[in-house]
């Protein structure tokens, strides 16, 4: 049975670095599932930096929507799979489904149900977006609520959960 690790925290809190360290401790080969895409120059630069930091032990798959399909299709071929990040995946799904959260949460539940059956350990990186001010527009509030609910579902499904504050990891379970 796979071990699922859930990592959350604020932006630039060290989540990806911790996730990469945990994956590397399992040895190569490793799979990195990137849910974001280079929509602008700044994001393209981030992607280049992240790939350079990871090095040759990693195979990268960019998949903005079908996370469940990628995990199923690549199970058993890697020492660990790192998904970075759930928050971008949720955003992609929300826009794909015309800003309707119900089908997005159905996909999150599908992912949570899949995780225990995988042979490859999975590390999920997500953002904690609900600790700030209440957003001033409907879509941002909808996304904040969706991300909170999705994080609850995935954290409950995980064997281990971490939160990072200012680069400091705190184990939740």
The CA-based diameter of the chain, rounded to the nearest angstrom, is: 45
Q: Given the residues 50, 74, 96, 97, select the one marked as catalytic.
A: 50
Burial class (CB in 10 A: 0-12, 13-18, 19+), 47: middle
CA distance 36 to 23: 19
Instruction: State which H helix or E strand residue 151 sits in.
Output: helix 138-157
User: Residues 83, 86, 92, 94: is their CA dihedral positive or negative?
Assistant: positive
Instruction: State which H helix or E strand residue 122 sits in.
Output: strand 122-125
List the one residue out of 14, 12, 126 whose CA is nearest residue 67: 126
Q: Is 97 a catalytic residue?
A: no
Burial class (CB in 10 A: 0-12, 13-18, 19+), 52: exposed
Residues marked as catalytic: 50
């Amino acid at each position: 049975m796979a071990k699922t690790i859930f990592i959350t925290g604020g932006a630039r809190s060290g989540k990806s670095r911790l996730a990469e360290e945990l994956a590397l401790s399992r040895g190569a080969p490793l799979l990195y599932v990137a849910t974001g895409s280079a929509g602008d120059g700044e994001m393209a630069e981030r992607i280049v930096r992240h790939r350079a930091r990871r090095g040759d032990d990693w195979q990268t798959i960019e998949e903005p929507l079908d996370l469940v399909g990628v995990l199923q299709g690549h199970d058993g071929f890697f020492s660990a799979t790192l998904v970075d990040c759930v928050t971008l995946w949720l955003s992609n799904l929300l826009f794909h489904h015309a800003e309707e959260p119900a089908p997005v949460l159905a996909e999150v539940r599908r992912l949570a149900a899949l995780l225990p059956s995988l042979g490859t350990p999975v590390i999920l990186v997500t953002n904690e977006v609900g600790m700030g001010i209440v957003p001033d527009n409907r879509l941002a509030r909808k996304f904040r609520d969706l991300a909170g609910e999705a994080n609850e579902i995935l954290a409950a499904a995980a064997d281990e959960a971490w939160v990072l504050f200012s680069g400091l990891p705190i184990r939740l379970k």
